[in-house]
A and B are shown apart, each in its own frame.
Chain A
């Protein structure tokens, strides 16, 4: 049982995330068509196809450099609100942080917690607004819980993915306060948010990779 990952493992984990997001394009489009513009799946696939190209066969000296590469690639290629928000998810947690060669649960928890706080500030969304924050908040909490209990990386990422899933499911109960979904008011109840679904896909793919490879 290993409790840290080197940057090559982390890169492989993000490559697996990228593949999963790209495969989910139609699923995300179907969700987004109901209450959004229907462009979320396309945008996510576009961004993570570029992530695949940016990471494949490359070596990254530090965890921070890798996170930044993923985030900047998303920011530059996706456009829209999602480009900024998913870029923030990977960039803002490592900004101004001392570089690390290996990642453990505590490091990942710290990165994603800072990214979450930056995201909330930038997007002005709170839990319950039917956004990606609803899945991200319990995901970050899962990582923190795992780190506090000293569980393995694999178990910590499983807690994180379970939190994200619960949060994504919770968005079905919420009325949107942002974006196009807002104009649907209470008609959006029962439908899940596409951004929260993407957050779950990302953390679930991380957890699945860890359970197979660590």
Chain B
């Protein structure tokens, strides 16, 4: 696949420069750290996120109003170095503590845990939440071992609102962990994604789809021939409801997240079936939306994320969120 870049070493810095040029009043770069910060500092518990680049808008788009206060970016699909995360931590307001939110992948976990220790040495209180929503990556009884994928968008939205509401560090962590445990994601890949070099990340012949593939092409749980949209949506919902135990009377928010290569026309058809099927089952659809909030480069397919709501989570979920790449109002 053809890729439009300059020098590979300059990719991340140049992406940041271009992105920030679109919203200089809201965001700024943290030079030499591949960091990004909101300019609107608030006296509250801060959220710092981070991870490998390449799944935009994930990470850069997650810093903004009602979202994270800062983020450290790694190279494409590689966790950011601890020093970059530490520099971002020191650059956001950290007097009331900092919560790290990242996806549950070995590189991210190691770096965020390490930087948590380093920040504590500088007198900054920190906590980590590792989002683990991908139901195909470990069984429910080992939920905390799951990979983090697109569901982090919903967790981040709740987290941003909870911290903006003025919750103290430990209370905010409790709410965010609840959102994390209540978030379930299942994905289907219809065509492989591409590395910045243009090389495909995995092999997936035309006419086949793979359920549960990782966003960097890790093998999934089921490969079948391509089926109609309704059948694919039904299969995904069955997995999601079986795993989460969500049933009639439960109240949920749903995100259908496209992987970049799949069109809004297709995503809308899927969303139609998801909404129809959930209503048939008597599940209360508090909100359903189509997002492109986690896109492995050039990948075909989409994921469905479900957040099970309760009276505590709902107002946080409903709070507005804004960044140029992540807008959500109800």
Q: Encode A172-205 as 1/0 by CB contact (under 8 A) with B.
A: 0000001110011000000000000000000000
- Closest CB in chain A relative to B128 CB, distance in Å: 14
- CB of B80 closer than 8 Å to a CB of A: yes
- CB of B137 closer than 8 Å to a CB of A: yes
- CB of A83 closer than 8 Å to a CB of B: yes
Contact between chains at A81 and B106 (CB < 8 Å): yes
Query: Known contacts A83-B111, A84-B111: does B106 contact A179 (CB below 8 Å)?
Result: yes
- Closest CB in chain B relative to A164 CB, distance in Å: 22
Chain A residues with CB under 8 Å of B78's CB are 39, 43, 79-80
Contact between chains at A79 and B77 (CB < 8 Å): no
- Which listed residue (A75, A76, A79, A178) contacts B106, Cβ 8 A? A178
Contact between chains at B218 and A79 (CB < 8 Å): no
Contact between chains at A183 and B137 (CB < 8 Å): yes
- CB of A78 closer than 8 Å to a CB of B: yes
CA distance A84 to B83 in the complex (A): 11
- CB of B119 closer than 8 Å to a CB of A: no
- Which listed residue (B77, B137, B219) contacts A39, Cβ 8 A? B77
- CB of B296 closer than 8 Å to a CB of A: no
Query: Known contacts A84-B82, A179-B106, A180-B214: does B219 contact A79 (CB below 8 Å)?
Result: no
- Which listed residue (B81, B110, B113, B216) contacts A180, Cβ 8 A? B216
- CB of A123 closer than 8 Å to a CB of B: yes
CA distance A37 to B111 in the complex (A): 18
Contact between chains at A76 and B83 (CB < 8 Å): yes
- Closest CB in chain B relative to A209 CB, distance in Å: 28
Contact between chains at A81 and B79 (CB < 8 Å): yes
Contact between chains at B75 and A79 (CB < 8 Å): yes
- CB of A159 closer than 8 Å to a CB of B: no
CA distance A148 to B44 in the complex (A): 57
Q: Which residues of A117-144 have CB atoms within 8 Å of chain B's CB atoms? A: 122-123
Chain A residues with CB under 8 Å of B82's CB are 75-76, 83-84
- Which listed residue (B77, B81, B110) contacts A122, Cβ 8 A? B110
For the residues of B in contact with A, the DSSP-based class is: mixed
- CB of B114 closer than 8 Å to a CB of A: yes
Query: Known contacts A77-B81, A78-B81, A79-B74: does B219 contact A184 (CB below 8 Å)?
Result: yes
- Closest CB in chain B relative to A2 CB, distance in Å: 37
- CB of B320 closer than 8 Å to a CB of A: no
CA distance A122 to B77 in the complex (A): 21
Chain A residues with CB under 8 Å of B106's CB are 81, 178-179
- CB of A206 closer than 8 Å to a CB of B: no
Query: Known contacts A79-B107, A84-B111: does B216 contact A37 (CB below 8 Å)?
Result: yes
Q: Give the nearest-CB partner of B78 in chain A.
A: A80
CA distance A178 to B74 in the complex (A): 20
- Closest CB in chain B relative to A188 CB, distance in Å: 11
Q: Give the nearest-CB partner of A125 in chain B.
A: B106
Q: Which residues of A61-100 have CB atoms within 8 Å of chain B's CB atoms? A: 75-85
- Closest CB in chain B relative to A181 CB, distance in Å: 9
- Closest CB in chain A relative to B246 CB, distance in Å: 26
Q: Give the nearest-CB partner of A122 in chain B.
A: B110
Q: Give the nearest-CB partner of A84 in chain B.
A: B110
- Which listed residue (B79, B80, B114, B218) contacts A183, Cβ 8 A? B218
Query: Known contacts A39-B78, A76-B81, A77-B81: does B216 contact A85 (CB below 8 Å)?
Result: no
- Closest CB in chain A relative to B151 CB, distance in Å: 18
Chain A residues with CB under 8 Å of B113's CB are 122
Contact between chains at B110 and A85 (CB < 8 Å): yes
Residues in A lying within 8 Å of B, measured CB to CB: 37, 39, 43, 75-85, 122-123, 178-180, 183-184
Residues in B lying within 8 Å of A, measured CB to CB: 52, 74-75, 77-84, 106-107, 110-111, 113-114, 137, 214, 216, 218-219
25 contacts between A and B (CB under 8 A): A37-B77, A37-B216, A39-B78, A43-B78, A75-B81, A75-B82, A75-B83, A76-B82, A79-B79, A79-B111, A80-B78, A80-B111, A81-B106, A81-B107, A81-B111, A82-B107, A83-B107, A84-B110, A85-B110, A122-B113, A123-B110, A180-B216, A183-B137, A183-B214, A183-B219
A180-B216, A180-B218 provided; 9 other pairs, C-beta below 8 A?
A37-B77, A75-B82, A80-B74, A80-B107, A81-B110, A84-B110, A122-B114, A183-B214, A183-B218
The 8 A-B residue pairs with the shortest CB-CB distance, nearest first, are A81-B107, A80-B107, A84-B110, A80-B78, A79-B81, A81-B106, A79-B74, A183-B218
